[in-house]
Amino acid sequence: MQTFVILRPSITINMIKKHFLTALFGGACVLTSSAQNAVTLQDYQRAESFLGYNTHKYLDHNFSYPTWISGDRFWYRTLTPQGSEFVLVDPVKKTKTPAFDASKLATALSSVAPIGVMPNALPFNYFTYSEDNRFISFFAFRQQWKVNLQDYSIVAAESGPSDQSSMERNDVPEVVSPDGSKAAYIKDWNLWVRDTKTGKATQLTQDGIKDFGYATDNAGWKHSNDAILRWSPDSKKIATFKQDQRQVGEMYLVTTNVGHPKLEQWKYPLPGDEHIPMITRVIIEVTNPKVITLKVAPDPHRATLSDDVASSGTFDDVNWSEDGNWLAFVSTSRDHKNEKVRIANASTGDVREVFEENVTTQYQSGWGTINWKFLPKTNELIWFSERDNWGHLYLYDAATGKVKNQITKGNFMVSDLLNVDEKTRTIYFYARGLEKENPYYRQLYKIGFDGKGMTLLTPAEGYHTVFFAKSGKYMVDTYSKLDVPPVTVLLDQNGKQMMEVERTDVSRLKSALGWKAPTPITVKAHDGVTDIYGLLFTPTHLDPSKKYPVIDYVYPGPQGGSIGGAWEFSSARGDNQALAELGFCVVLIEGTGNPLRSKSFQDMYFPDLSINTLPDQVTGIRQLAQRYSYMDTTRIGIWGHSGGGFATASAMFNYPDFFKVGISESGNHENRNYEDDWGERYIGLLKKNADGSDNYAAQANPLYAKKLKGKLLLAHGMMDDNVPPYNTMLVIDALEKAGKDFDLIVFPQAHHGYGENTYYMMRRRWDYFVTNLLGAEHPKEYKLQVSMDRR
């Protein structure tokens, strides 16, 4: 057999060898120019232009939040093509005016600042008005400044305690009392208060010892110095606890450094452990320090909203009466299946059982906010329950523990209880599931305690975020859709629009980058019946005649989701559009097993987390490929972080013929090695079987590692105190024992989030998909030019 090779300028020696060998052994001969099979430096630069720090600067007239001041007025900061503006809105006069004279302020600040200041680029984002509105104060150039708005004279001002939003002193986090006169903090396992005017410190408790201290939040993945407590409204008492973790198991991490490594050791309970942190609830009288122990057995370190008692950064599930005489609280069982509502006498510590709720899966009190409230004036309690398959509000008699009436009803959920007007007996809340286009879009409603008069206050379609004036007379409402930019309006308390405040303009974003919004998608879940929702990102220069590999970004929940709660408009969602620009279709599918729908929707695969919403991802992508012919289902990749890393490895092991390339970042691959309060909530208590197996084994990714066929990249931070790196090490061990090839990135100094390595990991993610899914070369060691918009 003779073989002839015709030389062309675009053909390399390697191609000649390939052509020769293919012809020699009878295979098909396909020549491809290397230039056609490469992603260039310019492609990476274009992809980077779609990251948030580049898109944000092209968003004009966006609205973040209002800062309310006297007279129901508010100010806000917005961006324009010229720079930033501070705007003052007067609802009574229905006017929008500059919050101050920016030119005069810039001139004044330039006279004392180390550099010149421009009116449309003032070096601060936040300021405060004085009580008489004659002065403003702000922090710039490492100094607090005070400006007289009559003559724009400026002086350096001492930053007092009221100016410190975090109230941290000497690196010790403090919790300020409602009247601002005191600040509580932890020292040597005891609770102290500092007089914010004089600085005098007073020790409130005396018997706190190591691992049995007051107000501590230092076990599991949240081991901090924060004081977890709740001040009474009159600033005279503190509700907190004494946490016993003396017999709780330890977690260990070892630093990487020159010289002897440092051992980090802290309390980290695991599912099935005999001992977990337990809290003894106390009330502390502050003026004449006294500790009153509530007369109730210790509770597990659990809460109704999230996994632990401090999900919101404060003491969850406690409600004070206005006079500080009564404290209502909820005790959550270790497995989150039982909730006990209790009321304590703040003077004696006596505790009265009001009622309890039991569920077969896990109880939660809402999304983002705790949706129960104690009403001591009428001795009632508003309670949240999913007992009829939807998250609704119920009115209880706090004296008898009996239900007076169900407040909300229907096939929708109350996701956030926002305001309760006890005088008019009116409740304001976000509802989800009442918009036909997308059940995750939320709207503001009001309803009477008796369940009558349910009224829609934000009729515009989309996802609404509402800010109430302190008086309750006015509301600022920002609404948008996944693919429609926000509009911000001023409403009265009945929902009547008074004026348009801002309308976000994306014209510069489109003209500068060729930006386009992602496509909202709806597909059927794995059951073929349930609608599930998500987003599809495609290249801005999409060629429908071509085939594009698919990347599935996944976060399974069951407390979150691939989109989670972020159903509003965004100019950039992570690097999804950036990846699309490199030649991919990127899919986000909010699968079953996640919140914000019905209870049965979230419990669809409880307690088997090995499912990880993956059947929904598979069937969803197949449906999209039938709808969009340019999606190539022979080349599908998947990636995720944390729970998404867990799901990614599971996808690569259990769907090896569907998912070809996976990137698993910081996954909790073995939940017997992850913190107790997450696994025991969503899987249940660990139960040993007679043969030595247990109910957690099904979720253990290492057991399935031998089924890997595709390309898998694992990544983990070695100082990860949330999901300890041993989770990934167990997968590595299993892969090696099975003789499987894989790739690995280790961050020796990084925690659960990769910190300064975030953009390095992002670039490596691009490289991995370009090489292994797109089958192309990529620029070597591209460095993202991270910049923050300072307008």
Place 222 in a pLDDT band, splitting at 50, 70 and 90.
confident
Q: Is the pLDDT of residue 164 over 80?
A: no
User: Omega before 607 cis (within 30°)?
Assistant: yes
Give the pLDDT confidence score for residue 791 in this predicted structure: 53
Q: Residue range 679-692: average pLDDT? A: 94
In a domain, 315, yes or no: no
Least confident range of 7-16, 528-537, 729-738: 7-16
In a domain, 337, yes or no: no
For the stretch 484-496, pLDDT in tens is 999 999 999 999 9
Q: Residue range 557-566: average pLDDT? A: 91
Q: Which residues make Cβ contacts (< 8 Å) with residue 607, sequence separation at least 6?
A: 361, 682, 683, 684, 695
Residue 412 is classified by DSSP as: S
561 and 607 fall within a common domain: yes
CA distances from 442 to 432, 566, 573 (A): 5, 11, 19
Q: Is the pLDDT of residue 169 over 80?
A: no
74 and 30 fall within a common domain: no
Give the pLDDT confidence score for residue 124 in this predicted structure: 96
Q: Residue range 297-309: average pLDDT? A: 91
Give the pLDDT confidence score for residue 787 in this predicted structure: 74
The sign of the CA dihedral 239, 244, 248, 253 is positive
Q: At which of 391, 426, 456 does a domain end?
A: 456
Decide: 281 and 197 in contact? Cβ < 8 Å. no
538 and 442 fall within a common domain: no
Give the pLDDT confidence score for residue 308 in this predicted structure: 83
Which of 238, 386, 243, 367 is closest to 312 using CA atoms? 367
49 and 30 fall within a common domain: no
Decide: 213 and 190 in contact? Cβ < 8 Å. yes
In a domain, 665, yes or no: yes
d(CA 633, CA 773): 11
Q: Please, what's the largest Cα pairwise distance for the chain?
A: 103
In a domain, 628, yes or no: yes
Give the pLDDT confidence score for residue 788 in this predicted structure: 60
599 and 662 fall within a common domain: yes
Q: Is the pLDDT of residue 129 over 90?
A: yes
Q: What angle do CA 372, 376, 382 make, to 5 degrees?
A: 25
Kindly write down the DSSP assignment for every residue of 574-600, as one continuous string.
Answer: TTHHHHHHTT-EEEEEE-TT-SSS-HH
528 and 551 fall within a common domain: yes
Decide: 223 and 211 in contact? Cβ < 8 Å. no
142 and 6 fall within a common domain: no
Domain count, the chain: 4
Give the pLDDT confidence score for residue 13 in this predicted structure: 34
In a domain, 347, yes or no: no
Residue 696, domain extent: 41-57+507-774
For the stretch 453-469, pLDDT in tens is 999 999 999 999 999 99
SS3 398: coil
Sheet of strand 631-641, all strands in order from the earlier edge strand to the far edge: 519-524, 531-537, 585-590, 548-553, 631-641, 661-665, 711-717, 743-747
Higher pLDDT, 571 or 565: 571
Burial of 643 (0-12, 13-18, 19+ CB in 10 A): buried
Give the pLDDT confidence score for residue 693 in this predicted structure: 92
Which of 117, 119, 123 is closest to 82 using CA atoms? 119
In a domain, 432, yes or no: yes
Q: Which two tokens stand for residue 767?
A: 């490289």
In a domain, 7, yes or no: yes
Place 309 in a pLDDT band, splitting at 50, 70 and 90.
confident
Q: Is the pLDDT of residue 17 over 50?
A: no
Neighbours of 231 (CB within 10 A): 23
Which of 320, 340, 321 is closest to 330 using CA atoms? 340
Q: Is the pLDDT of residue 6 over 80?
A: no
Place 523 in a pLDDT band, splitting at 50, 70 and 90.
very high
Between strands 711-717 and 661-665, the pairing is parallel
Q: Is the pLDDT of residue 105 over 80?
A: yes
Q: Is the pLDDT of residue 162 over 80?
A: no
d(CA 618, CA 220): 34
Place 221 in a pLDDT band, splitting at 50, 70 and 90.
confident
Decide: 648 and 639 in contact? Cβ < 8 Å. yes
What pTM value is reported for the model?
0.92
Kindly write down the DSSP assignment for every residue of 442-480, as one continuous string.
Answer: EEEEEEETTS---EES--SSSEEEEEE-TTSSEEEEEEE
Secondary structure of 664-729 as H, E, C letters: EECCCCCHHHCCHHHHHHHCCCCCECCCCCECCHHHCHHHHHHHCCCEEEEEEECCCCCCCCHHHH
For the stretch 623-676, pLDDT in tens is 999 999 999 999 999 999 999 999 999 999 999 999 999 999 999 999 999 999
Q: Which two tokens stand for residue 372?
A: 């129960």
Decide: 754 and 747 in contact? Cβ < 8 Å. yes
Kindly write down the DSSP assignment for every residue of 615-672, as one continuous string.
Answer: HHHHHHHHHHHHH-TTEEEEEEEEEEETHHHHHHHHHHHHSTTT--EEEEES----GG
11 and 134 fall within a common domain: no
Least confident range of 26-35, 348-357, 376-385: 26-35
Give the pLDDT confidence score for residue 475 in this predicted structure: 97
672 and 608 fall within a common domain: yes
23 and 116 fall within a common domain: no
In a domain, 332, yes or no: no
Place 4 in a pLDDT band, splitting at 50, 70 and 90.
very low
626 and 759 fall within a common domain: yes
Which of 91, 70, 96, 88 is closest to 474 using CA atoms? 91
Unique residue bearing structure tokens 């004044």: 108
Q: Is the pLDDT of residue 71 over 90?
A: yes
For residue 679, the domain's CATH number is: 3.40.50.1820
- Percent of the chain past pLDDT 90, that is, above it, reads 89
Place 706 in a pLDDT band, splitting at 50, 70 and 90.
very high
Q: Residue range 761-789: average pLDDT? A: 93
Higher pLDDT, 41 or 788: 41
Q: Is the pLDDT of residue 104 over 60?
A: yes
Q: Residue range 553-569: average pLDDT? A: 93
627 and 554 fall within a common domain: yes
Strand partners, 96: 89
Between strands 631-641 and 661-665, the pairing is parallel
Give the pLDDT confidence score for residue 16 in this predicted structure: 32
Q: What is the mean pLDDT of the chain?
A: 92
> How many residues are given for the chain?
791
Q: Is the pLDDT of residue 355 over 60?
A: yes
Q: Which residues make Cβ contacts (< 8 Å) with residue 42, sequence separation at least 6?
A: none
d(CA 660, CA 690): 38
Place 789 in a pLDDT band, splitting at 50, 70 and 90.
low
